[in-house]
Amino acid sequence: CAGPSAASVEVVGVEADFAYKSLAAGLAQATAGFSYLRFEGCLARIGEYIMSAVRVLRQCVERFCERHPECTAMDLVGFSAGGMVAWLLPLLLGPLAEGQQRPRIGGLALLSPRLEGMNDVWDEGYVRELFRTHGTEVFLGYGTLEDIDSKGQPFSDLAARLRRCLPGGRLEVRGYQDKDHTMPTEELQDVARFLSRLWKRNGPS
């Protein structure tokens, strides 16, 4: 949260995708974990993603803002399916009207975001206006081993699309050599630097 009296950083909420033990265990047995087994593509799961994003918006973001009316900006961080949820949240909030006081999205860190199915239905004019009115800066990170067609729409394609929506150096793209669908230490350090730079300029959010 950033505001006139902001002096600390608070984690508003965490949303996690579910995981399956294994195919043999049966698809009804969800379990916590770092991976998951799904047969559907991301487009088939879009309703699930939207419900997750709405849950974060209602249960975390809006409740936090009610408790902290001084909050002026928030940052979102998401990996993989969480990157899709982080991407959807600003779209649900929409562009800020002139003089509107609700918190803006200051920073958006997308780590290997699974946006397949969304890449082909963007309204680039809407996204450009959204980022402009919020003053959003975006970090996109991914492993070079996952930047191939066989693993989904390449992240380099996503980077090119984001550049059209974020003029003026408000996009930072990092490809991590010989890394697959994971969060290497170097990437987490880069995200920390990205957020720290925003906080030094705008105050913690």
Per the model's pLDDT, the better-predicted residue between 82 and 173 turns out to be: 173
Instruction: Please give the backbone phi and psi of residue 42, each rounded to the nearest 5 degrees, phi first.
Output: -65, -30
- Pairing between β-strand 19-20 and β-strand 30-31 as defined by DSSP bridges: antiparallel
Q: What is the mean pLDDT of the chain?
A: 78
pLDDT at position 102 over 80: no
Q: Which residue has the higher pLDDT, 187 or 25?
A: 187
| Residue among 104, 108, 103 at smallest CA distance from 87 | 108
| 114 Cβ contact list (under 8 Å, min separation 6) | 42, 80, 81, 83, 84, 152
pLDDT at 154: 85
**CA-based angle 44:47:53, to the nearest 5?**
130
Give the residue-averaged pLDDT of 23-42. 43
Kind of pairing between the strands at 137-143 and 171-176: parallel
What does the pLDDT look like over 133-187, one tens digit per residue?
999 999 999 999 998 887 777 898 889 989 999 987 899 999 999 999 999 999 9
Give the residue, 4 or 56, on which the prediction is more confident: 56
Q: What pLDDT is recorded for position 12?
A: 63
pLDDT band at 67 (very low <50, low <70, confident <90, very high): confident
Burial zone of 68 (CB within 10 Å; 0-12 exposed, 13-18 middle, 19+ buried): middle
Nearest of 17, 20, 29, 19 to residue 55 by alpha carbon = 17
**Through-space distance between the first and last CA atoms of the chain, rounded to whole angstroms:** 4
- Share of residues in the chain with pLDDT > 70 (%): 71
Q: What is the pLDDT, as a whole number, of residue 24? A: 41
So what's the pLDDT on residue 28?
43
